[in-house]
Amino acid sequence: MPKPNNTLSSEKFTAFTDSGTEARFPIVRMRRNRSSGSVRRLVAENHLTPNDLILPIFVINGKNRCEPIASMPGIDRLSIDLVPQCAEAAFKLGIPAVALFPCTDQELKTADGREAFNPNNLICRAIRSIKKTTPELVIICDVALDPYTTHGQDGLIDGEVVLNDETLEVLAKQAITQADAGCDTIAPSDMMDGRVCAIRKALDTDGFKQVRIMSYSAKYASAFYGPFRDAIGSQIILRGDKKTYQMDPANSDEALREAALDIAEGADMLLVKPGMPYLDIVHQIKNTFHMPTFVYQVSGEYAMLKAAAQNGWIDHDTAMLEALLSFKRAGADGVISYYALEAAALLDQNLF
């Protein structure tokens, strides 16, 4: 086989001295700009700050309950009375937003997920409690039915089939319920076709024109969601899988089509989930659409890093910040991460 022609790519990076001599070692020494922490900070191309972080919070019923999640070391389910303290702590560290997820009591789950649009459900009460103490904090609410259904699917079902169009009406009702409670940003994660349009129309019709939509535009059918499903209690009840509506991990062009449709339907922000296995998708979406683009460092990613650190295989803090910085380098404007509090504390103290 003939060797590939690399002339163009090499010329792109060729520099010359004043005398016309090609600049290379020893004239060029790349290590000069790596010689100290100060110069490395000076020439850094990407920066991670608390402003880039969104903290997920798992909400449970009861009072004064702080329930550890075994598969996510360091992360707890919090009762509503403890949620405002967590949210306020995040805001004081410079974190601008939280994302709320409910762990609904089993007796409240139904096949049609009607608890999703109960104005006194866990999420609505948590929204109101946060707004009383930290009104400036941006609250992001997930729109999907899996925390509320007896079958664990994100939409209504008929036998084994997840219904698309019938689900849209319920998702719109869920979004209106959350907006009425004070939610700032609706985040549909269900991956039903047309859900952004249905939610945008419902919000506008009901007077919530300023409530934004952060669409899970590229949400993949991933194996990295396991600990999250434990956290919200859907893992043990999930019937089947979600491959008929979540994206195939083999596809990237499809992600661009999904994002384009969501933009056309009224999305204000786009989100890619999971994170690190899909950095290429983050990069493509950001560079194609130039929209506010976010990424979710999901529970499985968090659990892997935590487990490796607990076994002494990696340095916890360095690996955590390296992973978060990779999302910024790929083009993300912000990251939903279970590491948000830990990372913000380190960044606030200028320890990295």
Residues 6+ apart with CB under 8 A from 308: 314, 319
pLDDT at residue number 36: 94
As a whole number, mean pLDDT of residues 326-331 equals 98
Q: How many residues does the chain have?
A: 352
Task: Dump pLDDT digits (tens) for 115-158.
Answer: 999 999 999 999 999 999 999 999 999 999 999 999 999 999 99
Q: Quote the pTM value.
A: 0.91
Q: Which residue type is seen at 104?
A: T
pLDDT at residue number 14: 59
Q: Which residue type is seen at 123?
A: I
Tokens standing for residue 327: 């999302």
Q: Is the predicted pLDDT of residue 12 greater than 60, yes or no?
A: no
Percent of the chain with pLDDT over 70: 92
Whole-number Å distance between alpha carbons of 136 and 91: 9
Q: Is the predicted pLDDT of residue 20 greater than 90, yes or no?
A: no
- Helix or strand (DSSP H, E) at 178: helix 165-181
Catalytic residue annotation: 219, 273
pLDDT at residue number 21: 62
Task: Dump pLDDT digits (tens) for 261-308.
Answer: 999 999 999 999 999 999 999 999 999 999 999 999 999 999 999 999
The structural domains of the chain, ordered by start, are: 48-348 (3.20.20.70)
